Every structure is written in structure tokens, then in C-alpha cells.
Amino acid sequence: MEDSRRQFLKITGIAALGLSTASTAGVLAADQGPQPYTRKGDEALTAKQWGLVIDTTKIDHELAEKITEACHTTHNVPFFDPEIVGPEVAKRHEIKWIWETHYHNAFVDSGSNNYMSEEVEHRPFLVLCNHCEAPPCCRACPTEATYKRDDGIVIMNFHRCIGCRFCMAACPYGSRSFNFRDPRPFIKETNLKWPTRSKGVVEKCNFCVERLAVGKAPACVEASDGAIVFGDLEDPDSHIREVLREHYTTRRRVSLGTGPAVYYII
Amino acid sequence: MLEYAIKGDKRYYAWITFLLALIGIGFGVYLWQLRFGLGITGLSRDVSWGFYIAQLTYMVGVAAGGVMVVLPYYLHDYKAFGRITVLGEFLAIAALVVCLLSVIVDLGQPGRILNVWIHLSPHSVLFWDTVVLNGYLFLNLVVGWNVLQAERNGTHYPQWVKPFIYLSIPWAISIHTVTAFLYCGLPGRHFWLTAILAPRFLASAFAAGPALLVLLCLLIRRVTNFDPGREQIQTLAKIITYALIANLFFFGCELFVAFYSNIPGHMDHITYLFAGLHGHGVLVPWMWASMGLMVLALLLLIPPITRRNEGVLAVACAMLFIGAWIDKGLGLISAGFVPNPLHEVNEYMPTLPEVVITIGVYAIAALVLTVLYKMAVGVKEEVAA
Ligand code: SF4
Ligand code: SF4
Ligand code: SF4
């Protein structure tokens, strides 16, 4: 039964070639059997499309560092110390899920303004995976190792990824990192609630699915002192929608049609 | 027919031993890469594809270029090419060996490669690329082998081979089109996001593939008793000339669109290649060399007087082959990633281990080509005798 249903879904998936991968990928993903982070308890937080609003006016360099640190320690993201591996290698092998950049880097298409407010020019802008509505990374992946869940989160299956890095070429936000070497010796303290990765696979922000599953807010949201809001973008009564109604917000590279779910208050 | 591949003189065995040595060295370095990870290459978070994928892209072109001898012979009944079609088909096989091995050495988790077939993902162009590449390999093996065997037996090849021959013609176009689609369907990578990428790939393929074939034909004439034929080589030279003109024309179209529209996203990558960007420009000398080689090759190919001189023709073919290799094998992939989506410039250059592994891959293909050509020439010599 289960097998024939799967087969059918695959065939319809083939017929739907060219359409968004979201539906097929989502269904196939649900078929993958038990996975620790897709299990839903009573306390699990759920949504139709998770999203974030980042209030950049409230984030200075220290806070940005604290947020980044919170994410990276929670998810066993390695740090290649330039003093140990050398600055060039540290840069090449770098892995980051959320990081600080400038306005003109975050908003490449709309950011070239010669006469910018100095304050905005120096303000840190946190960038991360946008959990796009129509994610080009999932479209590119030849194994469904990266896929969009029913709640809108774009996630990685580290055990299936073949390391072809097509998704990295496809992501127009530079959100993905590749394990060019074994990351484990470079993790300061391993968080046992989330797996470490092996060399040769891609990784990125997972919207803290493992925390949402137990009713906790994403680590970056928790560390942000209220500067980052998360919630269901498709629920008009959600807090995030209220914030969006009240503020002027923008998203990165909207002209590409990816539909980013991360919004910025400037 | 395999016996031809075993019987050879000293030179033949010396060449084989040399290739085996290169393969051994390349394989050793690959074992190191397997242990350490792709970190031994020059690849980075920003330039996540490089030398390996570039060889795939270039050699797909050489493989597709084989169709330039198959098509005139089978579709236009151009009899002269009957002498060399099998050389075109076998060259395509060797080129495909480079393509498939380059994909494998590029993978972070090569042991999981079958996931592509277990979790079929028709929305991924990479899936289709594996389909067309393996399909083309199969077609050329079937066709090349059967046609050669028939020639040896002095018979006509079996009728059932015919549909495969016809199929191989559009299939050749498809391999390079799908390979271009790997790049040109990605949002936000403006250097690749151009509808002319597939036509441009094909044009450079139909120049570079036959150019290599011309060089191989000249070599075969020197070292064996089989002469691929002067007319054959001259016809190939004309094909190469037209294809090279088309290739340079398409590139000119790219330049016009990018620079007349004055859109930074479109100009930046080209500027990076030919002039450098924000003070970074490792590829600048390479790209000018590439353009220079291709233009010079064209100047030698257009006038009949130089084209008809086989010595000059050989030089032109070599220049064109190298020029197109720099263009597609170094520039095209890197430039798509530089500047990165956040408009930062992080450059890429292959490292020594990366180059050695690639040489190993080419050595495997050269070994395959040597064995196949040895058989083909053996049959041709026998039939002629
Ligand atoms: S930001 Fe990049 S990695 Fe994240 S969903 Fe969009 S395309 Fe995929
Ligand atoms: S690297 Fe992994 S996740 Fe990315 S496209 Fe390849 S298989 Fe999919
Ligand atoms: S949502 Fe979670 S994984 Fe994503 S950046 Fe925030 S803390 Fe990191």
C-alpha cells in the first residue's frame, strides 16, 4: 500500500515536472520514515509558513554576535580558527548559518545608494536562509536531500546529501555552507540534542525545527531580546503578522521570485 | 576485436604505461581527497564548483562535437565521413568518461551517488544530466561497436542499429543543452542566466570537438598505416570555422546585452573576468589569452590558403582547443560565482591536488581512447590490406 502510494506520488511528481517542488518534495519527505526532528509532540509549535521579522534598528554589533553565537553553538557549527588553519583556509572552509553583513551586501539589488544614512551603512544586518516560498535550492537538489516541509521550513537531510553542491549554486542568498573537511574537531562544545555533520555534506539554518518540535522559539529569536520575531506568516492573527502590519518591511532580492520568508525592518 | 588492443609495439606499451602511471598518481591523490574531504581543493563556500565541474562542462562539448561527423554521414549521406565516423563516436565515449568521472570526483559523498537514482527527482537538472550523459555513452558504445564490427566482417551493420544512430544525433544536442541548463536556470547568477548559454555551449562544442578530432586524425596518420583522409580533415576544418565564428558571435551578443544595458549584475562577472573586480583578477591574463587564441585560430582558419595547409590547420586547432578550454574550463564556472550573491569577491584557483586528480581523470579517458582507437585503426588496416 504504502509503496504503491509512494510510486504513484513519484509518477505524479514526474508529470508535474516544471512546477514547484514544494508539493512533491513535501509529500516524499513525509514518507521518509521517522526522523527525530520531524516528530511532533503535544507541545510542538506548528504553522503553515514559518517566517521571521528582523528589526535591524534594535540590533547592534554585540547583539548580532550574541545571536550568531546562540545559533552556532546550538547547531554544532564548527569554527575554523584562522590562527590554527590559516586565514585563507578558514575563509574557504567557513560554515555559517546566520551572520552579520552590511546593508549593501544584504540588499544587493536595492542597496547601492551613494548617499546612505551613515547609521544604516554601519548597522549590522543579520542574514540567514530565507526559507523561500519557491526555493530554488530544493528545485536543484537531485536527491530531495533538501526539501520544503509542510510548515514552510526548508531543511536538510544530512544522511541523504551526496555533496554535489547544486543547491549552493542555486541559492541566490549564499545561505548554504559545505563541509569541506570533518567539522567535528572544530566544534568547541557539542550539543547532543542536534547531530554533528560529516564531511562532504551541505548545511544551513534549519529554522530550529528541533526546538519548535518541543515548543521552544528559535535560538536566534530567544537570544535577540525581542529584536527578532517569529511566527506563522499565513495566520492573519499571528503576532508576526501584527508586526508586519505595523512596520514597513522589506525582503532580500524579491525580484528573483523566490519569496523569502525573512522580513527586515530598516 | 579486443585483440587489437593487446597487440602493439613498444611505443604503444610505453604510452600505456605512462598513462597508467598518471592514473596511479591521480588515484593516490583522490584517496587523500576521500579521506580529508574536498578541502584539499581551492573550492570555497562562495565558489562551490570549480575545476572538476568545468571539465564536465568542457568535455560534454567534445562529446557532443562527435555528432559533427555522424550527422553529415548518416543524414546527408556524405560518404567521405564514413572513414572517420567511428573515430568521432569513440572520441565521444572517451570524453564522456571524463564527464562522468569529473562528477564523481566532485561529490562530497561519492558513496551515496546512487541516491540520485533511488530518490528520482525530475525537477533537478542534475538528474536529467545523468540521464542524458549515460544515455549518450550507451548509444555511442552500441553504435560504434556494431558499425566497426560490421566493417571488419565486410558486411553492413545490422538494421536494428539504425534507430540508435538517428537517436544519437538529437541526443548529442541534448547532452550539451541539459548541461547548459544546469547553470542558466539558476536565479541570481546573472553570468549564467542567459538564454544564449546553451547555443553558445553548442557552438563552442562543435568547434572544440572536431578540432580535437582533426588533431587525432593527423596523429593517427603519422603513427599508423591508416589515413583518415585529406578531404575528411578539410571538411572538418570548415565545420570548425563556422562553429568558431558562431561561438565568438554569441559571446559578442553577451557583451552587447551586458554593457549596452549597463546593468551592473550583468556586467560585473564579465568585468571580473577581463579586467578584474575590486582589485581581484586572477583570471584576467587567462581570459585574454583565451580570446587571443580563439581569434588567432579564426584568422588562420578563414583564409582557404592557411586552412588547407595541414600544418597551419593543426596549430589553429590546438589554439582553438586550448582557448575554448580556458573559456569554459576556467572562466565560465568561476565567474558565475564571483562576485558572490552578497557581492563580495572571493576568488578561486584550482590547487595542485585538484589538478593532479583531474590529470588522472584525463589519463583514464586517454587510456580508453587509446584502446578504442587501436581497435578501430586495427580493423581499418586489416580491411585495407
Ligand atoms: S535562502 Fe537559499 S537555502 Fe534558503 S530556502 Fe531560499 S534558496 Fe534555499
Ligand atoms: S549538495 Fe546535497 S542538498 Fe545540495 S543539491 Fe546536492 S544532494 Fe541536494
Ligand atoms: S532559526 Fe535557528 S537555525 Fe536559523 S538562524 Fe535562527 S537559530 Fe539559527
Provide the grid cell at B141: 558504445
What percent of chain A has a predicted confidence (pLDDT) above 70? 84
Identify which ligand lies nearest to the alpha carbon of B127.
2
Question: Tens of pLDDT along A76-100?
Answer: 999 999 999 999 999 999 999 999 9
- pLDDT confidence of residue A17: 41
In A, minimum Cα distance to B345 occurs at: A105
Whether A59 has a pLDDT exceeding 50, the answer reads: yes
Task: Say if CB B56 and CB B178 are below 8 A apart.
Answer: no
**Is B285 or A22 the better-scoring residue by pLDDT?**
B285
Element (H, E) at A232: strand A228-232
For the residues B254-267, what does the mean pLDDT come to?
Answer: 94
Write the single-letter amino acid at B12: Y
Q: Which residue has the cell 526548508?
A: A154
Whether A14 has a pLDDT exceeding 80, the answer reads: no
The verdict on the CB of residue A77 being under 6 Å from ligand 3 is no
The verdict on the CB of residue A120 being under 6 Å from ligand 2 is no
Interface test with A, best of B32, B46, B47, B112 (most A CBs within 10 A): B112
What percent of chain B has a predicted confidence (pLDDT) above 70? 100
In B, minimum Cα distance to A102 occurs at: B342
Environment class of A2 (CB within 10 Å of its CB; exposed 0-12, middle 13-18, buried 19+): exposed
Question: Cα distance from B18 to chain A (closest Cα, Å)?
Answer: 31
CA gap B307, B312 in Å, rounded? 7
Global pTM value: 0.91
- pLDDT confidence of residue A134: 96
Whether A26 has a pLDDT exceeding 90, the answer reads: no
Task: Give nearest CA residue, ligand 2 atom 2.
Answer: A161
Task: Give nearest CA residue, ligand 2 atom 8.
Answer: A141
DSSP A55: E
CA gap B236, B68 in Å, rounded? 8
**Is B125 or B66 the better-scoring residue by pLDDT?**
B125
The verdict on the CB of residue A143 being under 6 Å from ligand 2 is yes
Bridge partners (DSSP) of residue A128 are A98
Other beta carbons within 10 Å of A36: 11
Bridge partners (DSSP) of residue A55 are A265
Query: Considering only CA atoms, which of A157, A90, A101, A94 is closest in space to residue A125?
Result: A101
Provide the grid cell at B310: 595541414
Nearest to B44 among A92, A136, A199 (CB): A92
What atom of ligand 3 comes closest to residue A207's alpha carbon? 1
- The answer to whether the Cβ–Cβ distance between B108 and A161 falls below 8 Å is yes
- The answer to whether the Cβ–Cβ distance between A139 and B346 falls below 8 Å is no
Question: Cα distance from A237 to chain B (closest Cα, Å)?
Answer: 33
The residue to mutate among A75, A95, A210, having the most atoms of ligand 3 within 8 angstroms of its beta carbon, is A75
CA gap A30, A26 in Å, rounded? 6
CATH architecture of the domain covering A38-265: 2-Layer Sandwich (3.30)
- pLDDT confidence of residue B276: 95
For the residues B87-98, what does the mean pLDDT come to?
Answer: 96
- The answer for B109, left when phi > 0, alpha when psi is -120 to 50, beta otherwise, is beta
Which distant-in-sequence residues (6+ apart) come within 8 Å of A59 by Cβ? A67, A123, A124, A126, A224, A227
Bridge partners (DSSP) of residue A265 are A55, A249
- The answer to whether the Cβ–Cβ distance between B108 and A173 falls below 8 Å is no
Whether A10 has a pLDDT exceeding 70, the answer reads: no
Task: Say if CB B294 and CB B248 are below 8 A apart.
Answer: yes
CA gap B78, B90 in Å, rounded? 19
Going by pLDDT thresholds of 50, 70 and 90, the confidence category of residue A41 is: confident
Going by pLDDT thresholds of 50, 70 and 90, the confidence category of residue A112 is: low
**Is B381 or A27 the better-scoring residue by pLDDT?**
B381
Per the prediction, chain B carries an average pLDDT of 95
CA dist A110 to A251, A263, B124, B270, B278, Å?
10, 15, 30, 21, 19
Cα(A26) to centroid(ligand 3), Å: 21
Query: Considering only CA atoms, which of B288, B261, B260 is closest in space to residue B273?
Result: B288
Length of chain B: 385
CA dist B208 to B62, B68, B80, B203, B241, Å?
6, 11, 21, 9, 10
For the residues B142-149, what does the mean pLDDT come to?
Answer: 93
Question: Cα distance from B358 to chain A (closest Cα, Å)?
Answer: 17
Question: Cα distance from B121 to chain A (closest Cα, Å)?
Answer: 5
Whether A23 has a pLDDT exceeding 60, the answer reads: no
Whether B127 has a pLDDT exceeding 50, the answer reads: yes
CA gap A196, A218 in Å, rounded? 18
Question: What residues of A are in contact with residue B113 (Cβ under 8 Å)?
Answer: 162
- The answer to whether the Cβ–Cβ distance between A169 and B336 falls below 8 Å is yes
- The answer to whether the Cβ–Cβ distance between A165 and B108 falls below 8 Å is yes
Q: What is the DSSP string of B116-128?
A: HHHT--TT-HHHH
Question: What residues of A are in contact with residue B118 (Cβ under 8 Å)?
Answer: 143
- pLDDT confidence of residue A22: 41
For the residues B333-358, what does the mean pLDDT come to?
Answer: 95
Identify which ligand lies nearest to the alpha carbon of A216.
3
In B, minimum Cα distance to A199 occurs at: B37
Whether B300 has a pLDDT exceeding 70, the answer reads: yes
**Is A7 or A238 the better-scoring residue by pLDDT?**
A238
Cα(A85) to centroid(ligand 2), Å: 26
- pLDDT confidence of residue B8: 86
Nearest to B44 among A91, A106, A112 (CB): A91
The verdict on the CB of residue A229 being under 6 Å from ligand 3 is no
Query: Considering only CA atoms, which of B174, B176, B27, B53 is closest in space to residue B108?
Result: B53
Whether B47 has a pLDDT exceeding 70, the answer reads: yes
Q: How many CA atoms lie within 13 A of A55 on its CB side?
A: 15
For the residues A101-115, what does the mean pLDDT come to?
Answer: 86
Going by pLDDT thresholds of 50, 70 and 90, the confidence category of residue A196 is: very high
Query: Considering only CA atoms, which of B169, B223, B210 is closest in space to residue B301?
Result: B210
CATH for B2-384 is 1.20.1630.10
CA dist A41 to A213, B78, B82, B118, Å?
7, 72, 70, 30
For the residues A216-230, what does the mean pLDDT come to?
Answer: 97
For the residues B315-322, what does the mean pLDDT come to?
Answer: 98
Task: Give nearest CA residue, ligand 1 atom 5.
Answer: A131
Provide the grid cell at B51: 575545476
Going by pLDDT thresholds of 50, 70 and 90, the confidence category of residue A176 is: very high
Whether A1 has a pLDDT exceeding 50, the answer reads: no
Query: Considering only CA atoms, which of A36, A44, A2 is closest in space to residue A158?
Result: A36
ipTM field: 0.93
Q: For the sheet containing A262-265, what is the strand order? A: A228-232, A50-55, A262-265, A249-250
CA gap B96, B117 in Å, rounded? 19
Gap between the terminal Cα atoms of chain B: 16
CA gap B126, A142 in Å, rounded? 6
Going by pLDDT thresholds of 50, 70 and 90, the confidence category of residue A110 is: confident
DSSP B329: I
What atom of ligand 1 comes closest to residue A128's alpha carbon? 1
Q: CA torsion B282→B288→B293→B298, rounded to 10°? A: 150
For the residues B281-310, what does the mean pLDDT come to?
Answer: 96
Taking one residue from A and the other from B, the number of pairs with CB-CB distance under 8 angstroms is: 166
Quote the distance between the C-alpha of residue B41 and its chain's center.
22
